[in-house]
Amino acid sequence: MATSTGAASYTNTKSPTIRRILREAAELSSTPSPDYTAEPLESDLFEWHFTLRGPPNSAYSQGVYHGRIILPPAYPLRPPSFRFSTPNGRFEANREICLSISGHHEETWQPAWGIRTALVALRSFMETDVQGQLGGMETTEAVRRRLAQESVSFKCAVCAKSNADIIAECEDRCKETTSLCHEISVPAELNMGWRDELEAAKNDQSSSTHPSESSSEVAQGGELPITEPSEAELAEGFVQTTPNVTDGFSTHPPAPILGIRNRQPPSTARPTGTGAEAVPLWIDRMIVALVILLVAIVLKVLLGV
């Protein structure tokens, strides 16, 4: 399993989003579940690897499945996406799965759910009816049972461990700790779908409902880069409110600028005032010098005569 030891270097970061991710990683490690486990990569906290057992009393009950979790930059406002690496007969391998409330608008993802809730939901979706489900694979139960038996020996190239070894280590951690994970109920409004199909359906819906409003679509496209940073700020605000910090920095620069501008006029006004007062002094000195010169000339003339 991807280890999270390298994540310790991020503990001093000021990003609330990363602190949220680290807190979830610590929570999953301190309160393990014998049915699933997930850890971030050492090199990238936004990429996790998960391993989970198939749901009981189903064709997947004997299987252990591995996959990847990709966290968006705006997490936890935006939902994580999943990719099964192990063939299972229910979800297509290496195809991105998106979890959301409506199945078409990931913006409605609830930040309080987190990775653990998403894993439990993904595991429960495995035993749902394929018919009518977006992204469902039509395979027989015999094929799914065969894939479940083969999944145990699946080995991830990144984790360098088989699914059987990973889930065995997870069971050992559960035996060593007394704080096991409590049962988590999947929210009824939580759905799933393939990200590429969801985005295509969203584009088709917007074009059909507003066929003549191409300019508004361009405007919306231009607004996306603006709204995403604001959502990222809100995601950071899930742990700590950053607008107060940014406002603090934005108010300080104008202060010295105004101070400098207020100090300059008095400095220029003072020389003019002192200059006006210094003119009589120079005139007096010039007069004194001329008087002395005239006296000297007069004396020379008198002595010469």
Residue extents of the structural domains in the chain: 5-210
Distance, CA of 294 to chain centre: 89
Q: Is the predicted pLDDT of residue 60 greater than 50, yes or no?
A: yes
Least-confidence region, from 113-122, 227-236, 251-260: 251-260
pLDDT band at 303 (very low <50, low <70, confident <90, very high): confident
**Over the Cα atoms of the chain, what is R_g?**
37
pTM beyond 0.75, yes or no: no
Token pair recorded at residue 225: 């880069």
Question: SS3 of 193, please?
Answer: strand
Q: What is the DSSP letter of 180?
A: P
pLDDT band at 111 (very low <50, low <70, confident <90, very high): confident
Token pair recorded at residue 42: 């050492």
pLDDT band at 78 (very low <50, low <70, confident <90, very high): confident
pLDDT band at 74 (very low <50, low <70, confident <90, very high): confident
pLDDT digits (tens, 9 = 90+) for 197-224: 555 655 666 665 544 444 444 334 433 3
Q: Could you tell me if 193 and 135 are in contact, meaning their C-beta atoms sit under 8 angstroms apart?
A: yes
Token pair recorded at residue 229: 């940073």
Give the list of residues 6+ apart from residue 120 with CB closer than 8 angstroms, or none: 36, 184, 186
Question: SS3 of 67, please?
Answer: strand
pLDDT > 70: percent of the chain: 56
Q: Which amino acid is at 284?
A: D
pLDDT > 90: percent of the chain: 30
Residues 264-291: what's their mean pLDDT? 64
What is the model's pLDDT at position 243?
38
Q: Is the predicted pLDDT of residue 43 greater than 80, yes or no?
A: yes
d(CA 209, CA 198): 16
Least-confidence region, from 65-69, 107-111, 143-147, 207-211: 207-211
Specify the DSSP element, H or E, that contains 49.
Answer: strand 47-53
The residues with which 98 forms a beta bridge, in sequence order, are 81, 193
Q: Could you tell me if 191 and 88 are in contact, meaning their C-beta atoms sit under 8 angstroms apart?
A: no
Least-confidence region, from 33-47, 113-127, 258-272: 258-272
Residues 18-28: what's their mean pLDDT? 93
Token pair recorded at residue 277: 């007062």
181 labelled catalytic? no
pLDDT band at 26 (very low <50, low <70, confident <90, very high): very high
Q: Is the predicted pLDDT of residue 25 greater than 60, yes or no?
A: yes
* CA dist list (Å): 178 to 5, 31, 33, 194, 255: 22, 8, 11, 37, 56
Protein fold of 5-210: Ubiquitin Conjugating Enzyme (3.10.110)
pLDDT digits (tens, 9 = 90+) for 127-177: 877 665 555 678 899 999 999 999 999 999 999 999 999 999 999 988 887
- Mean pLDDT, the chain, rounded, equals 72
Burial readout 163-181 (b: 16 or more C-beta within 10 A, e: otherwise): bebbbeebeebbeeeeeeb
The crossing angle, in degrees rounded to 10, of helices 16-30 and 114-125 is: 60
